[in-house]
Chains A and B, each alone.
Chain A
Amino acid sequence: MNGNPATGVEPPGPGAPPPAIAVEGLECRYGDTVVLTGVSFSVREGELFFVIGGSGCGKSTLLRHLIGLQKPARGTVRYGGEDFTNADLAARRNLLKTFGVLYQNAALWSSMTLRENVVLPLEQYTTLNRREREEIVSLKLAQVGLAGYEEFFPAELSGGMRKRAGLARALALDPRIVFFDEPSAGLDPVTSRKLDELVLQIRETLGTTMVIVSHELASIFALADRVIMLDHEARGIIAEGRPRELAAASDDPRVREFLTRGDEKV
């Protein structure tokens, strides 16, 4: 969160601060199977960045490597210029505090109430006292439109509410970057649109950098400043840019087909 969010998409000039995320030559493997290779891109501070591509192209694999759930076979991931891939335990712990993740199924801890879910990162990483933590929880839940739901268990909420509660937990430590894994999965179009609006509102208010893994075209066109498209056969990035420009004028027919659902009309 900061007072002056940067949302521009122009490349940074010399002497500019390092990008929020810089990925260089990343190779992702499962055993001997190479899923992605030579993946390089950067995400600027405050940018709404989408990772798109068909099913099985390695979007979620890339995300798991970005957030440190899997170690890359080659390459590095840097956050604000700091190496995350080869960081020692203390540096890694410090970097983990700077980003939040909203998982596909929200991944709320089912035996805990929403308050307990959101308060856990605060207990872990801050020196706030109990009352102060409670206030932050109320604020976070209010930010995602769940004010008053502190004592509800995840099982007592609808799918959309669970996603929003997952977002509140991801935002608990006011991370500079939030990763979303298929945020629209399992949601109806209206709930999905509301979640998109929430993402925009949070970016606007908090200036958070958002990296969203999705193949939901409506969300991509509504939100994305910039996208990278992954391809299963190419095992890497086949396009990078603004979604509308790519849909209209990409040289690669696979990109146009994906972004126009094959009907070449956007």
Chain B
Amino acid sequence: MTVVPSPACAETIVAGDDLVVTVGGDWRITGLLPSWRKVRGDRAPHGVRLRAEGLGRWDSSLVRFVHEVQGWCREAKISCDTSLLPETVRRLVGQLEQAQEKRLPVDHSQNFLVTVGLAATDVWRQTREFASFVGECTLSAIGLVKRPGRFRWRDCFSEMQQCGAMAVPIVSLSSFLVGLTLAYTGAIILRQFGGDIWVADIVGLSTLREMGAVMTGVVVAGRTGAAFAAQLGNMKANEEIDALETLGIAPVDFLVLPRLVALTLMTPLLVMYANCLGIFGGMVVGATVLEIPPSAYWIETQANIDLSDFSVSLIKSIVFGMLIAVAGCLRGLQAERSAAGVGRAATSAVVTSILLLIVADAVFAVLFNVLGL
């Protein structure tokens, strides 16, 4: 058994120079409501009198309507009499009137110069925080060397499984496809000179010295870096980090170091594996498209890559792993205590990781050139 509401209505009668508006029916904010513009039409009264007749249930929609009528009367510089409306309606209209006058100044926007200035100080602050965090991690790592028994090996192994073994499928796919793409791209030029076999050199060298580490780094940053930031950010939002600190446990020792160690150990393994898959991808193109027998392809690859190329790949992968872990954990610990904050931390972790990865790669390019590696 439900009560069927009668529609909200506002009827007008002209009484002398005044317009008498009678509101009635059920005023529901979610229903159809009279519009003051249509109710008044093009009349130009000297005053408006509002009264209620047959008024059923009403809500904020009636309050808003009366407020709009009052506002219109004020603009038209005519009187508006609401004394015949229920007292509660008048009280709420008064409240709305006051609320509209009282807007606390809060400015979330900035002008261009302020934005640039703040961004500059933010970069400086972030650099300091990053350096300080790296320092904390270093001290924590020294503590690990001194007292390896206190290290949380179980967490570390669990993280190694998560960021290493569980990442194998995506790393396999991406590195195989990159090897494949490199081979196709190389073949476009080399075929013109009848040098198809050199595809093996291009794929081998570029995978080992560059693509294997960078592509795996990008995949790990997106997969593991974001996960680290989200986990730690969520822990911060739930005050779990505070609980560690009040117990006298440094979050860096407890949460960051196991992740840092895990990723620093697992990234080189993933990169070595990615290198193999990349070369294999090139070999598949060689065998199927360029008609190079796999044995010939392999011999050519072996002839042109040496230990220094492996060292380059290994050094890069260790550093990339460290950078991604540090960026992910730092962004997680810096997260704001809210759901949006956790999301921002995860995004920021990926952006920071990839940026650091590219910068580090450029530094390595110069360094290895100087060292002759």
Contact = CB atoms under 8 A, between A and B. Distances in A.
B339 A110 contact: yes
B56 A173 contact: no
A186 B119 CA distance: 36
A174 B99 contact: no
Contact of B96 (A2, A135, A156): A135
A138 interface: yes
A139 B88 contact: no
A140 B60 contact: yes
Contact of B58 (A2, A97, A150): A2
Given A1-B60, A111-B340, A142-B99, 15 more contacts: A18-B2, A80-B3, A97-B30, A122-B29, A127-B32, A128-B29, A135-B68, A138-B100, A142-B96, A147-B102, A148-B102, A149-B104, A151-B106, A155-B338, A174-B29
A1 B27 CA distance: 10
Interface residues of A, number: 38
Contacts, number: 102
Interface size classification for chain B: 35 or more
A109 B47 CA distance: 44
A151 B96 contact: no
B55 interface: yes
B91 interface: yes
A151 to B, nearest CB: 5
Q: Which of A139, A143, A154, A156 lies at the interface centre, i.e. has the most chain B CB atoms within 10 A of its CB?
A: A139
Nearest to B71: A135
A97 B3 CA distance: 16
Interface string A124-163: 0111100010011011111100011111101110000000
B1 A3 contact: no
Contact of A138 (B2, B57, B59, B96): B96
**Nearest 8 A-B pairs (CB), nearest first?**
A174-B59, A142-B99, A110-B338, A111-B340, A148-B104, A1-B59, A147-B99, A138-B99
A54 interface: no
A81 interface: yes
Contacts of B28: 174
A110 B58 contact: no
Nearest to B108: A151
A138 B98 CA distance: 9
| Dominant SS among interface residues on chain A | loop
Nearest to A140: B60
B88 A3 contact: yes
Interface in B59-90: 59-61, 63-64, 67-68, 86, 88-89
B337 A139 contact: no
B7 to A, nearest CB: 14
B147 interface: no
A82 interface: yes
Interface in A2-20: 2-3, 17-18
B96 A3 contact: no
A139 B3 contact: no
A139 B338 contact: no
A205 interface: yes
A4 to B, nearest CB: 9
Given A80-B2, A126-B30, A148 B99 contact: yes
A136 B60 contact: yes
Contacts of A110: 338-341
Contacts of A135: 64, 67-68, 96, 100
Contacts of A82: 2
A84 to B, nearest CB: 12
Contacts of A205: 88, 91-92
Contacts of A127: 32-33
B55 A155 contact: no
A132 B95 contact: no
Given A135-B67, A139-B95, A174-B29, A148 B337 contact: no
Interface string A95-134: 0010000000000001100000000001001111000100
B43 interface: no
Given A3-B86, A110-B341, A126 B103 contact: no
Given A2-B56, A110-B339, A205-B88, A136 B100 contact: no
